[in-house]
Amino acid sequence: MPAGAGVPYAAVSVHRAALQRLLFEYARHLGIEVRFDTKVSIYFEDVEKKKGGIKTPDGEQYEGDIVIAADGIGSRSVDLVENEGSEGEAQNSGIAIFRANYPAELAYKKPNVVDRFSKRPLPANGHMQVWSAANGYAIINTTDELINFHICRPNKAGAKERWDHKTNKNAIISYLDQDGWGPDVRDLVEACPDEALFDWKLMFRNPKPNWVSPHGYVVQLGDAAHTFLPSSGNGATQAMEDGTSLASCLHLAGKAQVPLAARVYNKLRFERTSCAQKLGFRNRDRFMAADIETLKAKQVLLGPIMGMWVTQHDAEAYVYDNYARCVDHLVMGKRFENT
């Protein structure tokens, strides 16, 4: 997506499934072993060995110079990484979301879907569209192979943190009809198999300042460190920035100073991710409060969902420019502020 046409930045739009496949294939190319369907029950660190480690429910144990907990919002690393009262219980965000991911060929049988979502030749990385209605909004990603949609609506009722709550087309279509959605999004839902439909009550946690275990051999990354609402449009990107930043810190620190590298990474990233987290709430409120009739009359768009401070950041360069000063701050107490 080139800069211009109301978008103040250049961006690459890619379906996360395709990106995950690409990263997986590259990891295999580098000779990195990837194990699936393996749960982590305990994170630990061994100060004498200067190692971090994990244990699985069946008793297997793995150790390394550093263990990166990138296992999402339910990470067991919270048992080791201390945050006194800052994380707390998951709270209701005020949003519930119908979500699905299914083969595009099922949807492209419907004329409305073809006209709206694939009339133009799709680039290899697909398209993303944001739709607003009277009382909700949708984020729709389309490629030649996959359709992915998030249909967000208010949720004032109580909520529990779970990811397996299924729903069905009738429930979603009932909501769409009541809220005045047009036939295009309705057809996307009708084409989706019921087994691919989920209804999530979105939760959030307040930003937590510490992502590092007491001795520095286990460190959190991505949603394990900072949770994002889908309306931020930036959660996966921030996780990738985390990875770039941590790798750069470890490169500069060397094997002998892994705990220091982890603390520098935490310091350089916390404020930025906290600000980016808030974008999700800002966008949620903007999408929910959109004046549809005014948008139609003026033929205007909702505009960019994030600023250049998000899209133009170079996480690697930021580490190399600030690592030494951040070390002086952490070790000697010298003044340091993130920019």
Q: Tokens in use for 262?
A: 């982890």
Alpha helices in 208-314 (DSSP H): 235-253, 258-288, 292-298, 308-311
Q: Tokens in use for 156?
A: 């004032």
Among candidates 223, 205, 314, 327, which has minimal Cα distance to 265?
A: 327
Please tell me what DSSP assigns to residue 4: B
Among candidates 324, 321, 208, 316, which has minimal Cα distance to 266?
A: 208
The HSE-up count of residue 79 (CA atoms within 13 Å, CB side) is: 10
Q: Under a CB-based contact definition with an 8 Å cutoff, are residues 203 and 90 in contact?
A: yes
Among candidates 261, 236, 234, 249, which has minimal Cα distance to 315?
A: 249
From the candidates 16, 35, 76, 99, which is the catalytic residue?
Answer: 99
Q: Under a CB-based contact definition with an 8 Å cutoff, are residues 66 and 250 in contact?
A: yes
Quick check: is 99 catalytic? yes
Please tell me what DSSP assigns to residue 99: E
Query: Looking up tokens 């394990």, which residue turns up?
Result: 224
List strand residue ranges (DSSP E) for the chain, in order.
42-46, 51-55, 61-64, 67-69, 91-103, 127-133, 136-142, 146-154, 197-204, 218-220
φ and ψ of 106, to 5 deg: -70, -35
Catalytic residue numbers?
A: 99
